[in-house]
Amino acid sequence: MIEKDHIENLYEKSFEDFSDASDAGDWAALSGKVAKQNFMKFGLSHFNIYYTLLIVSVITIAGVFFMQNSKNVSASSENSVPETQNKVVAPAENKTNEDNIKDAAFDVSIKEKIENANEESVIEKKTNSKNNSEIIYSAPDKKQVQENKNLNQEKVKDTPVKEEIINKESPVQNSKEELPVITHPEENAKDIPADVNQIKEQTKPAPVRKTISIEQHDTIYKNDTVMVKGKLKFKKRN
């Protein structure tokens, strides 16, 4: 080992116990830095930047989530308006006096039908209409009917009326569908007089059928409006 010269020894001995008086303000500055360092360092016991970031991120995610939800709600409400406009649903507010009179008459008929249905055990009715639609009415038990009746009477007034055009096909199309295929009119000329009336009936323009349906619990009430030759004929049924 190289021996130190006298200058080195002088400094080594002199600065062994060298100290400088500290200021009180130094500790204040240092404590601030220590607090900052503790904040930046992760620890379960004290609040730090990681907890802060966690809270901020949770708030941000929640905010984004709610913003998206609110956007979706507004978009769905905007989209729902034209859908209702497109439907042939006549709201009660827009009804004319004629419509109100019709509805009132229809309600009365529905009530009558319900009363009749209670008395009948099972009614099967096959309609011979041109559409060959089959409607089967089955009356429930007496107790159940009584309960339904009470419920229906309470809610008949509140129920909105929906009008749906079920069969709005053009008369020409219906007539084409129902017409028998005649390949050689001359050969079948003999049969013409016998089937003239039938063919004429078949070639008649099909009526426009309009059904008003009312849904109440498990029962669906329908009111058919059939337009024949420009005149309205009401066939009410339920």
- Does position 14 bind other proteins by CB under 8 A? yes
Closest by CA position to 211, among listed 193, 227, 200: 227
Torsion angle (degrees, nearest 10) of CA 189, 195, 197, 200: -70
Percent helix, strand and coil across the chain, each to the nearest 5: 55, 20, 30
In the chain, the amino acid numbered 50 is Y
Per CB under 8 A, the list member of 3, 20, 124, 187 interacting with other proteins is 20
Min dist. Cβ of residue 54 to other proteins (A): 22
Residue 33 or 229 with smaller CB distance to other proteins: 33
- Distance CA(225)–CA(53), nearest Å, equals 68
Contact set for other proteins, span 36-55 (CB under 8 A): 37, 41
Three-state DSSP class for 230? coil
**Does 8 sit near other proteins (CB under 8 A)?**
yes
Q: What angle do CA 116, 121, 123 make, to 5 degrees?
A: 75
Do the Cβ atoms of 220 and 213 come closer than 8 Å? yes
* Residue range at the interface with other proteins (CB under 8 A); choices 6-14, 72-80, 94-102, 120-128: 6-14
Q: Say what the alpha-carbon torsion angle 230, 234, 235, 238 is, to the nearest 10 degrees.
A: 140
Shortest distance, position 6 Cβ to other proteins, whole Å: 6
Binding segment for other proteins (CB under 8 A), chosen from 5-13, 84-92, 103-111, 175-183, is: 5-13
How many residues sit close enough to other proteins to count as binding (CB under 8 A)? Answer: 24
Minimum CB separation of residue 26 from other proteins in Å reads 6
From 18, 45, 83, 85, residue interacting with other proteins (rule: CB under 8 A): 18
Binding site for other proteins (CB under 8 A): 4-8, 10-12, 14-15, 17-22, 26-27, 29-30, 33-34, 37, 41
